[in-house]
Each structure stands twice: as structure tokens, then as C-alpha cells.
């Protein structure tokens, strides 16, 4: 193939599909001074797309991001057609149509017969194999995945997916184009879910596991992920935003395409809600109810009274975490039992890593009726997550709740759970990222970039694992696997080896 310099030369790009994604891609191209020919079989849809793009250009001009002359130039880059042969002179054709393999294959088979041998063919698929789509083409080397995210102008990440036969020069050209469009390209191997949709399963599927076990309600999980782990959104808020008619099929496809890999296992809740039409914010009901697009939250529960004689013994087993809890209660003048073992009238607090309260209590040989567990790993500054074992008395849980509230903290009380909530969620996210790195789907730096730009994470999952400590994440996973006996929580070799060697999770092997 003889390709133009996609970073600098004058280009013409054909976009097949004038829906939300297609018009977003065309808008980006036009704003970069690249001729964009928008195609759809329905002339009205094409006209609507062009009008929408021109409106967006006008808004950019009103906000001072474009001069009058630039706005005119951008608008002149937009062309429309309902005839596929009008794309014959394009340097690249991007397809953004329905997610059905046979439909995409048929479109590219026809397009290939119309365009020049040097025209790049790109699919905006979010979950279908680029290699499988290219299999219908006579020249599969020019087929590539170019996965934008919605809304295209605002989501700065683009996954660049080479199929098994994609020409390396095609990959380089498309990476240059994405940079020219003002977005960040991340090179990804052709694998189920690519990078972002695979990585996103780490949070969503574990949130669904927490819900399926009856550990906590959706709003409690989301509060903990925001206020303890520092995420902008929890899994249920995110699923309501993206809608289950998107999330459910992707989750099931990725799980099936990885041949039922336990780490990616969804729960029946997704399919049940999809069948009921409870899709999320766009239908007015999801994991939350919505009124005029705003989610309705339950009221924060009232704090129980703190008994005047309440005293707390903090297990020294996890030293740093124990001292954190001790300092928090002492600062609020809460009584502390300084004995080597808890007194008969004291409430014991354990700070497990990856264990449930039941296991931690039995290992320490303390009274299960008077013991609670606290997530000190993620409760250092934010909301406190508190749980008892099935044997813990309610008045004991309430007294611990009241004590932490007196120390100025909001408290979420959950049922007994290995890894509480934030620990198990974050460990699963980090472990999923490590698995992606181990498989070579993307490099460590690219994984973290994709998580920040594509999923809105506060930091990349590998950097997050480094900050918490790879050894701590490993301990959480090993303890969870011991409690559950589920291969879902088996630590990835990438994580285990780096934890054992004291290396960063972002460290790549020198091979």
C-alpha cells in the first residue's frame, strides 16, 4: 500500500453511518480541516447529521474557540451522500453502524470494490473482532479497528486495533490521524472487549457480585467507591448512565468470548433487568429511580446513640491500619481498651485485608458477638465501611457506628463480605488490569491512559495498585480466594511476580 502522510496531508474520510458516533467522528474531522463525507441510506438522517455538526461548529465559534473564517472552513469540509460510490475517492472509510458482524462484513465487502487499493478501511466496533470483520475482505491488511467513545468530541481516547493481518503502516497512519484530530490513540491487540470494555468489567462485575451476595445496596456501593476509593462514579451509577442495553450484551459477549473466564463472570441481575426494560437513566428507572433525568437517592440513615460507657479494643494484627483507627477514635475522645485482649465489656474492632469478619474473628479467637470489622485501608479519610459477622449483636454494630460518627465520619453498614466493598472492588480492578497486561492486549502505560480517559478513573489501575501496594492487593485477592474458593479472585501472574520482586505494576519485562 502507498499511504498518504495522515499527520499532515490533505485527506478525505468517508463515514458510513450518520448516527451519534458517525456524526461525532465527522465533526472531529471537519474541525481538523479534513474533508468528511457522511453516508447513510436515509437522506433525512444524513441531512440531520450535517445540520447538527454545523450547529456544533457555530457553538464553538460563539465560545471563541473558532474564528469566523475557521468556522466557514470547517463547514466547507462537510459533505453528505446516500450513495456509497461517492466514497470512492476517500483516503479512509470509517464504518459506524450496527454491531452485527455479518452486516459490517457485507458493507466492507461492497466498499472495498469501490475505493482505491490504498484506501484504509476502519471499523468503529466496540466489541466485534477486527480480524473477523476483515475476513470478508480481499485485502484484509488494510482493515483496522478505530474505536471512538461517546460523546466523540469530548471523549479523548481512541482504541487502535490491528487485526491478525493488518499492515503495520496502516496502524501507524491511523495513530497519526487520531493525534491530528486532537485525541489520544492507544494501540490495542484484537482481543474480546479490546481494552476499555475488558477493563471496565473489573468494576461492574464485582459491583454486581456485591449486590448478588446481599452485601450492600447499589447506592451504598457507589458511595463507598466515591467517598473511600476516590472514583467519580460507582458501578451502578455508571451502568445506569451507559444503560443496560449496552452494558449487558457487552458483559455477556466478553465473558463468552473469553470462554467463561471467571474474572469476567456477570450475574443474572443484568439480564433480568434488561428483560424488564429497566435500563437506567434514559428509561427513568435503573439501579436508581430518576425524575427528569436526576437520580433519587435514599436519605442518609439516622445515627444511633453512642452508649456512655462504650469502649473499643482495636486488634493490632494489621498494625498500620489498627493505629489509624485508634487515632481516629482517640481524637474524638472515645474510650480505648489498651489490653492485649479485649475486655469482657469492650467492643473489638478488626481491620481485615481481603477477609470477611467471620474469618478474621475466628483467626483472632475473640468474641464474635462483640466484634465488628472496619475497612481501614480505604477509611483513612473518607466514609467508614463497617460490618459484623452473622453472630455480631446489633447493639454492638450500632455502638461502633455511633463512635465513628462521633469522630466526624459518615458510616455505611454492610453485611459480612470478604474484602468488604472497596477492597474487593479495587483489587478486582487492579487484577483485571494486570491480566490485560499479562496477555499483551496493551502495554501498562496504555492501560492506565485508557482507564483515565475512557473510564474516567481517578488514576490508572496499575498506578493505583502501586500506590496501595502490589503486596497488599495480592494479600486481598489471596484471602478472598481462600474465603470464596472462587477462581475469580486468583491473582494474575503479572501482579504476583511484581509483588514478590518489589517491582512496580507498570514495569515491563526486558525481553
Q: Is 123 helix (H, G, I), strand (E, B) or coil?
A: strand
Beta partners for 313? Answer: 348
The domains located in the chain, with CATH, are: 12-190 (3.40.50.720), 197-295 (1.10.1040.50), 311-409 (3.40.50)
User: Do the Cβ atoms of 394 and 372 come closer than 8 Å?
Assistant: no
Contacts of 82 (CB under 8 A, 6+ apart): 39, 40, 41, 42, 43, 46
- Identified catalytic residue from 112, 159, 227, 475: 159
Low-confidence ranges of the chain (pLDDT < 50): none
At 170 the pLDDT is: 97
- Identified catalytic residue from 95, 124, 147, 446: 147
Mark out the alpha helices in 32-163 (DSSP H runs). Answer: 43-62, 68-76, 101-112, 130-134
Cell reading at 489: 479472585
Residue 428 designated active-site: no
What letter does residue 363 receive in the DSSP assignment?
H
At 309 the pLDDT is: 92
- The radius of gyration of the chain's CA atoms, rounded to the nearest angstrom, is 26
At 510 the pLDDT is: 82
Longest CA–CA separation in the chain, Å? 84
Q: Note the pLDDT tens digit of each residue in 189-204.
A: 999 999 999 999 999 9
CA distances from 274 to 207, 250, 269 (A): 17, 13, 9
Residue 197 designated active-site: yes
CA distances from 111 to 15, 16, 136, 210, 271 (A): 11, 10, 11, 47, 36
| Angle ∠(206,254,286) on CA atoms, nearest 5 | 55
CA distances from 243 to 213, 232, 257, 284 (A): 22, 17, 21, 11
- Identified catalytic residue from 39, 95, 124, 126: 126
User: Do the Cβ atoms of 131 and 163 come closer than 8 Å?
Assistant: yes
Residue 159 designated active-site: yes
Residue 227 designated active-site: no
At 321 the pLDDT is: 87
Q: How far apart are CA 267 and CA 205, in angstroms?
A: 7
**Which uninterrupted H or E stretch holds 290?**
strand 290-291
- The backbone torsions φ and ψ at residue 37, rounded to the nearest 5 degrees and listed phi first, read -105, 110
Q: How far apart are CA 445 and CA 467, in angstroms?
A: 15
At 59 the pLDDT is: 94
Q: Note the pLDDT tens digit of each residue in 203-229.
A: 999 999 999 999 999 999 999 999 999
- Identified catalytic residue from 124, 129, 173, 197: 197
Q: How far apart are CA 211 and CA 425, in angstroms?
A: 12
Amino acid at each position: 500500500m502507498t499511504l498518504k502522510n495522515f499527520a499532515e496531508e490533505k485527506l478525505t474520510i468517508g463515514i458510513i453511518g450518520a448516527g451519534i458516533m458517525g456524526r461525532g467522528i465527522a465533526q472531529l474531522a471537519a474541525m481538523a480541516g479534513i474533508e468528511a463525507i457522511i453516508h447513510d441510506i436515509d437522506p433525512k438522517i444524513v441531512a440531520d447529521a450535517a445540520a447538527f455538526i454545523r450547529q456544533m461548529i457555530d457553538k464553538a465559534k460563539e465560545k471563541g474557540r473558532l474564528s469566523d473564517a475557521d468556522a466557514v472552513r470547517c463547514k466547507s469540509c462537510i459533505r453528505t451522500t446516500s450513495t456509497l460510490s461517492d466514497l470512492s475517492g476517500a483516503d479512509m472509510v470509517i464504518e459506524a453502524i450496527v454491531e452485527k458482524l455479518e452486516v459490517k462484513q457485507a458493507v466492507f465487502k461492497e466498499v472495498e470494490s469501490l475505493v482505491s487499493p490504498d484506501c484504509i478501511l476502519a471499523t468503529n466496533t466496540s466489541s466485534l473482532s477486527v480480524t473477523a470483520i476483515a475476513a470478508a475482505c480481499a485485502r484484509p491488511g488494510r482493515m483496522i479497528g478505530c474505536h471512538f467513545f461517546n460523546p466523540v468530541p469530548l471523549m479523548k481516547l481512541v482504541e487502535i486495533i490491528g487485526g491478525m493481518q493488518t499492515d503495520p503502516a496502516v496502524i501507524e497512519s491511523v495513530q497519526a490521524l487520531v493525534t491530528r484530530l486532537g485525541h489520544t490513540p492507544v494501540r490495542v491487540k484484537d482481543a474480546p472487549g479490546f481494552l476499555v470494555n475488558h477493563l471496565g468489567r473489573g468494576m461492574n462485575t464485582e459491583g454486581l457480585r456485591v449486590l448478588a451476595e446481599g452485601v450492600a445496596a447499589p447506592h451504598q456501593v457507589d458511595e463507598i467507591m466515591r467517598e473511600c476509593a476516590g472514583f467519580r462514579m460507582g458501578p451502578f451509577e455508571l451502568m445506569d448512565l451507559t444503560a443496560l442495553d449496552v452494558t449487558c450484551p457487552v458483559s455477556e459477549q466478553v465473558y463468552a468470548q473469553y470462554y467463561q473466564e471467571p474474572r469476567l463472570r456477570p450475574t443474572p441481575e443484568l439480564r433480568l433487568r434488561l428483560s424488564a426494560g429497566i435500563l437506567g437513566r434514559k428509561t427513568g428507572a435503573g439501579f436508581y429511580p430518576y425524575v427528569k433525568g436526576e437520580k433519587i437517592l435514599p436519605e442518609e440513615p439516622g445515627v444511633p446513640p453512642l452508649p456512655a460507657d462504650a469502649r473499643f479494643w482495636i486488634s493490632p494484627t494489621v498494625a498500620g491500619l489498627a493505629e489509624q483507627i485508634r487515632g481516629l477514635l482517640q481524637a474524638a475522645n472515645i474510650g480505648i481498651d489498651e489490653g492485649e485482649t479485649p475486655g469482657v465489656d469492650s467492643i473489638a474492632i478488626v481491620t481485615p485485608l481481603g477477609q470477611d469478619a467471620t474469618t478474621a474473628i475466628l483467626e483472632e479467637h475473640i468474641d464474635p458477638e462483640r466484634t465488628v470489622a472496619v475497612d481501614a485501608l480505604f477509611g483513612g479519610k473518607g466514609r467508614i465501611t463497617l460490618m459484623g459477622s452473622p453472630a455480631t449483636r446489633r447493639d454492638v454494630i450500632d455502638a461502633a457506628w455511633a463512635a465513628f460518627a462521633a469522630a466526624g465520619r459518615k458510616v455505611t453498614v454492610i453485611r459480612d463480605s470478604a474484602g468488604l466493598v472497596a477492597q474487593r472492588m479495587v483489587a478486582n480492578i487492579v487484577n483485571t488490569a494486570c491480566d490485560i497486561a499479562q496477555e499483551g492486549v496493551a502495554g501498562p502505560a496504555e492501560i492506565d491512559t485508557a482507564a483515565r480517559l475512557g473510564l474516567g478513573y481517578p488514576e490508572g489501575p496499575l498506578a493505583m495498585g502501586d500506590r496501595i501496594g502490589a503486596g497488599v492487593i495480592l494479600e486481598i485477592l489471596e484471602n478472598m480466594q481462600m474465603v470464596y474458593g472462587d477462581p475469580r479472585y486468583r491473582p494474575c501472574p503479572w501482579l504476583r511476580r511484581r509483588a514478590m520482586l518489589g517491582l512496580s505494576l507498570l514495569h515491563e519485562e526486558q525481553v
